[in-house]
Amino acid sequence: MKTTKDFQKMKDKNEAIAMMTAYDYPSAKLTEKSGMDMILVGDSLGMTVLGYDSTVPVTIDDMVLHTKAVRRGAKDTFTVTDLPFMTYHISEETTLRNASRLLQEAGAQAVKLEGAGSVLSMISRLTSAGVPVMAHLGLTPQSVGVLGGYKVQGKKAEEAEQLLQDAKAAEKAGAFALVLECVPKQLTGLIVETLSIPVIGIGAGAKADGQVLVYHDVIGYGSEHLPKFVKQYANVQDTIEEALHQYVSEVKDSRFPEDQHTFTMDEDTLTHLYGGKNERHYND
Ligand SMILES: Nc1nc(=O)c2c([nH]1)NC[C@@H]1CN(c3ccc(C(=O)N[C@@H](CCC(=O)O)C(=O)O)cc3)CN21
Ligand SMILES: CC(C)C(=O)C(=O)O
Ligand SMILES: [Mg+2]
């Protein structure tokens, strides 16, 4: 399994880091098989697999459950799990307890948390307790209510300057990497050059040290609205729809199951079972 040190080396050697979300056993298995460098158990699972309209309702129990499933499917891939909304704000104690659940109970290698400001002291507290922390700046979806929607961040000079300062502060607080979401590519370039730690972009352009996307977006599985930054590499949704439709038709037309899908018993047993009154149609 790769380590935080390997990701640092990859940045230093200009080798791009490939990261994607996974939420369950099958998605984790396929993600590991693909040669992905790192898995994110994102709180986006609230939207992609639980059907909420934001990441705000997601709980620490949700993240523990899904991280366990992911780790069973991807035993050799470095796995980062999102600390969900309001699980790293109340106190240092609850923050440490929640991170401990993700690392010790669920088997994650690191945690990710959104924002700067008062969150910086949590990054530093977690890091000094031995928890690798990935920071997340730019569009921080847990703050959708404050931001007023999922919009590009750091387009104005003042916001860009603030983002750069926050990125530097996150590195100084001990973060081993930074996710930068939905910012202009020029700002990404500046942050990548300024920071020593790897910067993983999503909607942040080609200058980032790595890229992360949401599993369901990449394979075209159930996402209705795709953000501009997504490249959909497959459309499994159409394949699934077609298969389910065919199954319903075949059940209704009695074309499924066929003999090859069916179990049978031998003639003697059948005769015994029906007291010698075995009629031919039992054997159909
Ligand atoms: N399926 C999925 N993919 C994601 O990337 C994702 C989630 N869910 N859930 C959590 C957050 C929410 N994210 C989002 C959601 C929407 C946009 C979006 O529609 N952005 C506009 C930008 C508008 C603008 O400011 O110009 C876009 O057109 O891309 C961006 C990020 C990223 N994350
Ligand atoms: C979009 C990525 C970075 C994320 O935080 C998530 O999937 O929850
Ligand atoms: Mg997230």
Mean pLDDT throughout 38-60?
98
The CA-atom distances, in angstroms, between 164 and each of 72, 87, 219 are 37, 25, 33
pLDDT of residue 167: 98
Catalytic site includes residue 250: no
Residue nearest to atom 6 of ligand 1 (CA): 44
Task: Answer yes or no: are the C-beta atoms of 41 and 63 closer than 8 Å.
Answer: yes
Helix and strand totals (H; E) in the chain: 12, 8
Angle at 24 (CA atoms; ends 22, 30), nearest 5 degrees: 60
Which CATH number is 64's domain given? 3.20.20.60
Mutate to test the pocket of ligand 1, among 182, 225, 231 (most ligand atoms within 8 A of CB): 182
Q: Ligand 2 center to residue 241 CA distance, Å?
A: 26
Q: Are residues 233 and 245 in the same domain?
A: no
Q: Are residues 167 and 190 in the same domain?
A: yes
Q: Is the CB of 152 under 6 A from ligand 1?
A: yes
- Ligand 2 nearest atom to the CA of residue 44, by list position: 8
Domain boundary among 237, 254, 272: 237
Does the ipTM surpass 0.90? yes
214-252 tens-digit pLDDT: 999 999 999 778 999 999 999 999 999 999 999 999 999
Q: Are residues 252 and 275 in the same domain?
A: yes
Contacts of 31 (CB under 8 A, 6+ apart): 20, 22, 39, 73, 74, 77, 215
Q: Are residues 225 and 106 in the same domain?
A: yes
Q: Are residues 180 and 247 in the same domain?
A: no
Q: Which of 181, 193, 241, 242 is catalytic?
A: 181
Q: Are residues 274 and 147 in the same domain?
A: no
Q: Are residues 257 and 157 in the same domain?
A: no
Q: Ligand 1 center to residue 218 CA distance, Å?
A: 13
Structural domain including 57 reads: 4-237
Q: Is the CB of 44 under 6 A from ligand 2?
A: yes
Q: Are residues 142 and 246 in the same domain?
A: no
pLDDT band at 279 (very low <50, low <70, confident <90, very high): low
Residue from 105, 104, 44, 40 nearest 74 by CA: 40
112 is in an annotated binding site: yes
pTM for the full model? 0.96
Domain boundary among 237, 256, 275: 237
111-148 tens-digit pLDDT: 999 999 999 999 999 999 999 999 999 999 999 999 99
The helix/strand/coil state of 282 is helix
Q: Are residues 225 and 278 in the same domain?
A: no
Residue from 89, 141, 90 nearest 119 by CA: 89
Q: Are residues 203 and 101 in the same domain?
A: yes
Ligand number with the minimum distance to the CA of 144: 1
d(CA 255, CA 247): 9
Q: E strand or H helix at 159, and its extent?
A: helix 157-173
Domain boundary among 217, 237, 257: 237
Residue nearest to atom 7 of ligand 2 (CA): 42
d(CA 54, CA 35): 30
Mutate to test the pocket of ligand 2, among 81, 214, 216, 218 (most ligand atoms within 8 A of CB): 214
Q: Are residues 64 and 144 in the same domain?
A: yes
Q: How many domains does the chain have?
A: 2
Q: Are residues 186 and 258 in the same domain?
A: no
Crossing angle of helices 157-173 and 185-194, rounded to 10°: 30
